[in-house]
Structure 1
Amino acid sequence: MKNQEIIEKINGFLVEEFEVDADKITPEANLKETLGLDSLDYVDLVVVIESNFGFKVKGEDFVGIVNFQDFYNYILSKVGEKQEVK
């Protein structure tokens, strides 16, 4: 799967699961503010990531994630690690 396909998949499930306007999802937008995340929403986000991409997410993985580009980079790196293992 190519990076752009992964980003499109991410945006698709964010729009669907968190009912956010797709136009508000930009690389520099703040993830927490744009999605309106509270602590329970982070649990939902972890579940959605794990079910869509097949890797385990740890809470500390979110420490450095501020905007959507950070979020994309995190998932892209994890997907890349998973593909290297195969």
Structure 2
Amino acid sequence: MVELFELEPEEVTAEANLFEDLDLDSIDAVDLVVFLQNKTDTNFEAEMFKSVRTVQDVVDAVVKLEAESSEIA
């Protein structure tokens, strides 16, 4: 996230709110989803990311998707 959104490393904490603390907007959110899809080779459903608000929420969503993906394989 530091490189993708040109943030300071100390700003990106687990409890940081993506929109309020990190000043991301809806286009940034789409960029983040696309970036994560490319990095994980997983297709994310938009529904899963509607409730994502913090950096920790992003981590939890990716971990959950990775776990579901490996169960299917």
- Is 1:35 matched with 2:22? yes
Read off the aligned partner of 1:44 and give its amino acid letter: D
SS in 1 for 2:19: helix
SS in 1 for 2:13: coil
Distance 1:42 1:68 in 2: 12
Q: Which runs of 5+ in 1 are unaligned?
A: 1-13
Structure 1 segments, 4+ long, off by >3 Å, are none
Distance 1:70 1:15 in 2: 17
Distance 1:29 1:42 in 2: 14
Paired residues in the alignment total: 73
- Identity, % of aligned positions: 36
Q: Which runs of 5+ in 2 are unaligned?
A: none
Which structure has the highest helix share of the two? 1
1:5 alignment partner in structure 2: none
1:68 alignment partner in structure 2: 55
Query: TM-score, normalised on structure 1?
Result: 0.73
1:17 alignment partner in structure 2: 4
Query: TM-score, normalised on structure 2?
Result: 0.83
